[in-house]
Amino acid sequence: MGADGQIAQNPALPIGVNPAVPAVTPPVAAATFPAAGNAGNAPALTLSPLFKMVFISVLGLTILCLLLSVYISIHLDSGAKNVEAMKSLNEKLLSVFTLGCGAIIGLLGGKTLN
């Protein structure tokens, strides 16, 4: 502050810029990524809402099947009843988990080719 009670302007800053207030940067788009390869020259990838929905659905189903399979495996080791039915269900859950992993790889690979 100067002798007259006014805030002195820093000559390095443009007029009207208060150094006590941090500058606000514009938000970056949440789903914009540089394309693979030459990141400086390539256009950015944008993910559509439909792609996000499909990807999150497949990812959720894949993780759910893995967790259920682990739970059933632990339950089978503790001496559960209906062992054959539980083994069959566990095999089906592992099959869906494997298909989900393939779908995730396919979705990501297909998106990078666009």
pLDDT tens figures, 74-110: 888 777 788 888 889 999 999 999 999 999 999 999 8
| Residue 25 resides in a domain | no
Classify residue 26: in a domain, yes or no. no
Is pTM beyond 0.85? Reply is: no
The mean pLDDT value for 44-70 works out to 91
**Residue 50 counted as domain residue:** yes
The count of structural domains within the chain is: 1
Taking only the tens place, the pLDDT of each residue in 20-29 is 655 555 554 4
Instruction: Answer whether residue 12 is part of any domain.
Output: no
Does position 32 have pLDDT exceeding 70, yes or no? no
Q: Note whether residue 7 is domain-resident.
A: no
Q: Which two tokens stand for residue 1?
A: 């502050």
Is 20 domain-assigned?
A: no
Residue 2 in domain:
no
The CA-atom distances, in angstroms, between 106 and each of 11, 12, 48, 55, 101 are 56, 52, 16, 10, 9
**Owning domain of residue 62:** 32-113
What confidence tier does 3 reach under pLDDT thresholds 50, 70, 90? low
11 domain residue, yes or no? no
